Amino acid sequence: MTVALTLTAKRMASKNCLVKYLEAVETLGSTSTICSDKTGTLTQNRMTVEHCYLGGKIYRVSHEQEEVEQDMNPIKQCWDAYNRCCRLCSRCEFIDDNPDIMKRVCSGDASETAILKFMESVTGPVIKYRAIYPKVAEKPFSSTYKYQYSIHKNSNHNPNMNEDLRSNFILVMKGAPERIIKICSTILTAEGEVEMTEDHITNFEEAYRELGSMGERVIAFCDFEFTQFPPDYKFNLEEGNDVTLGDFRFLGLIALIDPPRFESLKL
């Protein structure tokens, strides 16, 4: 037994694996499952946007503005509402101004950081865009209800629109796909906003499964435009009387991946 363990330890040493105790080799030989911390061990701890689902289709995206604009041009209406939600529904901000956007330090979590860097790369300065839609209220994410939303003043509406139909405020939300889809009654397609049907839900579920099967973290987005509040209205989200979760407009999904470390690919 000692000879067998020693030979095994020698073979492992040839693969740059040092065995300090021979008994560990025996234990390793009877191991069926190894649990390891993924982030920073098997992956690079660098969450990146890999796919977008909008207009009923999955798009593999890069961080090149011209390429993304070309891909999204046929569904520009969907893309405009989608990237508005991505840019506004976030608490993440850049801490430095590194010319390389992907290397900038951010104040948010890994997912929000990835979305912010993606949007900054393909749509331009996010902070300047947020100034057009000042945030007036916010409900932070909770693992209990699995979503986050913020309400913004709509300074970009049509001034010639009838005042009764004008949306003075916009609610943008992101969260768990299975939670978001349940509160949406319409969906934004290439043809415009339409009622949510069983076919739309089926397509959503197939896309959700496909992205999840690739090991990607999937987040859903939706929005709602308020027409019932005057421009100077003050929201009180703590009492929960201002916002009713329902009849939202589904915009799409974003899928993120933490790339594997080069060393782990050789295992």
> Under a CB-based contact definition with an 8 Å cutoff, are residues 259 and 114 in contact?
no
**The CATH classification of domain 48-263, taken from the options 3.20.20.70, 3.40.1110.10, 3.30.70.260, 1.10.3720.10:** 3.40.1110.10
pLDDT tens string 68-115: 999 999 999 999 999 999 999 999 999 999 999 999 999 988 899 999
Q: Report pLDDT for 24.
A: 84
Binned at pLDDT 50, 70 and 90, residue 157 comes out as low
Beta strands in 78-191 (DSSP E): 135-139, 147-153, 169-175, 184-189
Q: Which residues are catalytic?
A: 37
Per-residue pLDDT reduced to its tens digit, 1-50: 888 888 888 888 898 888 888 888 888 878 888 877 776 677 777 889 99
The position carrying tokens 């913004």 is 152
pLDDT of residue 240: 59
pTM as predicted: 0.80
CB 91 within 8 A of CB 109: no
31 burial (CB, 10 Å; 0-12 / 13-18 / 19+) is exposed
Which has the higher per-residue pLDDT, 126 or 46? 126
- Candidates 186, 106, 108; CA nearest to 148 is 108
Of the listed ranges 83-97, 185-199, 229-243, the least confidently predicted one is 229-243
Question: Is the CB of residue 113 less than 8 Å from the CB of residue 101?
Answer: no
What pLDDT, on a 0 to 100 scale, did the predictor assign at position 260?
A: 75
Domain regions of the chain by residue span? 2-35, 48-263
* Lowest mean pLDDT segment, chosen from 81-95, 178-192, 230-244: 230-244
Would you say residue 193 has pLDDT above 50? yes
Residue 235 scores a pLDDT above 60 = yes
pLDDT band at 126 (very low <50, low <70, confident <90, very high): very high
